[in-house]
Structure 1
Amino acid sequence: MSRLNVSQWMLGAVAVVAFAAGVQAKTLTISCGAVGAEKQLCEEGTQAWAEQTGHDVKVVSTPNSATERLSLYQQLLAAQSGDVDIFQIDVVWPGMLAKHLVDLSEYTGGAEDAHFKSLVQNNTVDGRLVAMPWFTDAGVLYYRKDLLEKYDQDVPETWQDLTNSARVVMAGEREAGNDRFWGYVWQGRAYEGLTCNALEWVSSYNGGTIVDADGKVTINNPHAREALALAASWIDDISPRSVLNYTEEEARGVFQSGNALFMRNWPYAWSLAQSEDSSVKDKVGVVALPKGGEDGSHTGTLGGWQLAVSRYSENTEEAADLVLFLTSYEEQKRRAIQGSYNPTIPGLYKDEEVLTAVPFFGELFETFKNGVPRPSSVTGESYGRVSNAFFNATHQVLSGEAEPEQALSGLERQLQRVGRRGW
């Protein structure tokens, strides 16, 4: 009997004994994302737990935009609503939402020790473990292997290499009759996803992380200006103007339909690109994002999602148990194989079944382990304002409303005002 089957049998046996003793079934509500296969995998995981325990679980989907989702969560929590027991929260939200969340260390029995230490530290606020790591992320570059070979182009090492190759292949494909083909698609809407993309550009050019670890605003520098200037040059050249309203799914739709050479996205898009109905099945490669230049670095913004229990839940113990089930080794393995969601347990990156399903997990382990963090820890509850200011300033540059120097000078002053009131 496999480790997973043994765990299921034991939990099922416990459930039978408990309910024979008259334990009352409860209904829990969990908020899950709906990007890619997220909702389906969440429903499957929660259903497995429900069958083992005898409780019921309702899965509530939320906006795909992280910015909109955070706003919804803040409204619910500010009202001390018990409508949602478990929240799926972004890696940058623990500091902002901590006061509304349960300390899970009272229920974990040390289970958090099996996860990446950096994520456990990220989720620990004032000594309280307010969320368990569920899956981690870092931005990666998807590319069409067949088209790079067709046009004798190399996998890009730098952003300029990407720009040059995108122009060559795009011109060739359009000449061949595909007038909808583009060189590069990414997340350009004014939302948290643009903060992730722009931070990758800036960091890859050695331009820092917006606000440094000491709380100093560092974004207005020549490297950051150079990075944003290059990105702005892509619009109407290798990227469609509509990219300025793309989130993850719009970019994936273009790439997966065969109409783009390169795409920046998260690892979840791999399993979808490899699905039977995908136009690019078996034609896709994945590598670290390009460097800013020869002296730059390959940088992927640290992403990922955690599971947290609301302080206003009336089913705290059961909710914590469901969180432990969903973040367990067995469940993370299932999600990695079926949906290419990055585990937060290091051991799974050596699991042969996982690596067979998602080969680049092994090759890009260091990228996932050492993704560049957004400045959420140092800015605390002010992070939302910091990110909003950053992605709005970036969007102005990309849309041609402002030059990089003008936008970043204004951003610097804005962030310094926020910082003076205390991060």
Structure 2
Amino acid sequence: MAAVLVAVPLGACAGRDDDGVPTINFYNPPVENMQHVIDECNAAAGGRYEIVYRVLPRAADDQRVQMVRRLAAEDDSMDVLGLDVTWTQEFAGADWIREWTGADADQVRQGTLPGPLESATYEDKLYAAPNNTNVQLLWYRTDLVPEPPRTWDQMISQAQQLKAESKPYQVITMGAQYEGLVVLYNTLVAGANGTILSADGKTATMDAGAVKALELLKRFATAGVTSPSFTNAQEDPARLDFQSGNGAFQLNWPYVYPAMQEAAPDLAKNVRWARYPAVDPSTPSRVTIGGTNLAVSAYSRHPAESFEAARCLRNAEHQKYAAINDGVPPTIESVYAAPEMAEAYPMKDVILEELRDAAVRPLSPAYQNISTVMSATLSPPSAIDPARTAEDLKKLIQDALESKGVLP
């Protein structure tokens, strides 16, 4: 699909259909039931425009590269863009997407959870509409642990006790040198009330909370409770490792639940979920969100129709449909109260609890650079020297903010 899209002349899809109806090209990652939502929005448009689904590659890096190349070339065939939450500031800072203003912005802000809304904001202005979100949960085996640990220290201690009893004990999560390791560290920093960047996103801070998070990550990696594959593990290998029966705990996204029901039903009977463990017993965890935001290209020939189309694509009814049929948690809080959500998301109350006080990744147009240097410096976690690593990260992140050093 990527090769086909790149080969198309940049203006080939822009403009109007033969019947004069504006075409709104919607560039978005592959979503199984997205066409159903698009069909409903086209019906609601009553012939004033037609949304056409332009499916991006499956890999996030490939999605970003394709959109960056097209937008840098001022491609006017792009209208509505499905952006990873970490790209909104980059695209806004480059003037590639339009600000949401007036009634459009008011409608997006109404009822949207604060964490997703923060991810769609750049310099106090709204540049995207949060379409879906996600948070990791603690998954634990009730046949090994009757009550879930509330803190990382409790979880590590329980895992060590299970190990001493020759029972399955591992705490399975993502520790490879990639974005998942950055997400893990960012969650620990937020839980320690720390900061990586200043509030304006222009200065690396790496404060005492960030150092405390490094200390905890090092302690976890060296406590003898991780999987042997921890430093190579990404989301799906971690899921499979837990499903094999080795783990007592897993920190991962909610998609692991339906996968476990299908692939390991006997194990699934003993698996429950809880809020992500806290860094400090006096402070609830703050978990890093994922998800996608809908933006309107600065080069769209049909901005008014594009904003309307984006509002329809992410409205409450369609977020509920996507949550139930495609497994992507909503960003509109009221959707979680819908009766249909209970069966699809038995863990919805815990998800919503985390989302009400979620953490976002460092908000900066340079986030891709920041993520690259962070994942390299944090890997492997067992080699972290908290004070020295914090100083290294502070310098490398500041260089990334100033477009020095490594590029994505």
Output the TM-score relative to the length of structure 1: 0.76
> Is residue 189 from structure 1 mapped to residue 176 from structure 2 by the alignment?
yes
Distance 2:97 2:402 in 1: 28
Picking from 28, 41, 50, the partner of 2:33 is: 41
TM-superposed CA distance for 1:97, in Å, is 0.3
> Is residue 383 from structure 1 mapped to residue 367 from structure 2 by the alignment?
yes
Q: Is the 8 A contact 2:139 2:251 kept in 1?
A: yes
Q: Is the 8 A contact 1:228 1:404 kept in 2?
A: no
Cross-structure match for 2:377: 393
Distance 1:129 1:156 in 2: 38
Q: 1:203 to 1:108 in 2, by over 3 A?
A: closer
1:96-120: CA deviations, max 9, x gaps? 1011113444783842143326344
Q: Is the 8 A contact 1:203 1:297 kept in 2?
A: no
The 3-state SS of whatever aligns with 2:222 is helix
The 3-state SS of whatever aligns with 2:331 is coil
Cross-structure match for 1:164: 157
Q: Is the 8 A contact 2:191 2:285 kept in 1?
A: yes
Q: Is the 8 A contact 2:275 2:354 kept in 1?
A: yes
What is the identity, as a one-letter code, of the residue corresponding to 1:203?
A
The 3-state SS of whatever aligns with 1:57 is strand
TM-superposed CA distance for 1:294, in Å, is 3.3
Q: Is the 8 A contact 1:83 1:313 kept in 2?
A: yes
What is the identity, as a one-letter code, of the residue corresponding to 1:190?
Q
Structure number with higher helix proportion: 1
What is the identity, as a one-letter code, of the residue corresponding to 1:342?
P
Distance 1:23 1:417 in 2: 50
TM-superposed CA distance for 1:230, in Å, is 1.5
What is the identity, as a one-letter code, of the residue corresponding to 2:196?
I
Cross-structure match for 2:11: none
Distance 2:105 2:355 in 1: 26
Distance 2:323 2:374 in 1: 32
Q: 1:25 to 1:310 in 2, by over 3 A?
A: closer
Q: Is the 8 A contact 1:103 1:129 kept in 2?
A: yes
Q: Is the 8 A contact 1:123 1:131 kept in 2?
A: yes
Distance 2:225 2:234 in 1: 17
What is the identity, as a one-letter code, of the residue corresponding to 1:384?
Q
1:134-181: CA deviations, max 9, x gaps? 1123332122234424xxxx3111212222333454676xx68xxxx7
Picking from 51, 57, 60, the partner of 2:52 is: 57
Q: Is the 8 A contact 1:268 1:339 kept in 2?
A: no
Q: Gaps (5+ residues) in structure 2?
A: 1-16
User: CA-atom RMSD, angstroms?
Assistant: 3.5
Cross-structure match for 1:230: 219
Cross-structure match for 2:318: 331
Q: 1:59 to 1:142 in 2, by over 3 A?
A: farther
Cross-structure match for 1:213: 199
TM-superposed CA distance for 1:409, in Å, is 2.0
Picking from 136, 140, 149, the partner of 2:137 is: 140
TM-superposed CA distance for 1:363, in Å, is 3.9
Q: Is the 8 A contact 2:27 2:55 kept in 1?
A: yes
Q: Is the 8 A contact 1:228 1:394 kept in 2?
A: no
TM-superposed CA distance for 1:259, in Å, is 4.4
The 3-state SS of whatever aligns with 2:366 is helix
Q: 1:70 to 1:56 in 2, by over 3 A?
A: closer
The 3-state SS of whatever aligns with 1:305 is strand
Q: Is the 8 A contact 1:144 1:283 kept in 2?
A: yes
Output the TM-score relative to the length of structure 2: 0.78
Q: Is the 8 A contact 1:213 1:375 kept in 2?
A: no
Q: How many residues align?
A: 379
Q: Is the 8 A contact 1:141 1:286 kept in 2?
A: yes
What is the identity, as a one-letter code, of the residue corresponding to 1:89?
L
TM-superposed CA distance for 1:224, in Å, is 2.9
Q: Is the 8 A contact 1:210 1:219 kept in 2?
A: yes
Picking from 335, 341, 344, the partner of 1:357 is: 344
Distance 1:381 1:261 in 2: 39
> Is residue 414 from structure 1 mapped to residue 396 from structure 2 by the alignment?
yes
What is the identity, as a one-letter code, of the residue corresponding to 1:196?
V
Distance 1:86 1:23 in 2: 19
Q: Is the 8 A contact 1:220 1:405 kept in 2?
A: no
Distance 1:280 1:315 in 2: 52
TM-superposed CA distance for 1:256, in Å, is 4.1
Q: Is the 8 A contact 1:256 1:278 kept in 2?
A: no
Distance 1:360 1:101 in 2: 35
TM-superposed CA distance for 1:59, in Å, is 4.3
The 3-state SS of whatever aligns with 1:148 is coil
What is the identity, as a one-letter code, of the residue corresponding to 1:412?
K
Q: 1:364 to 1:410 in 2, by over 3 A?
A: same
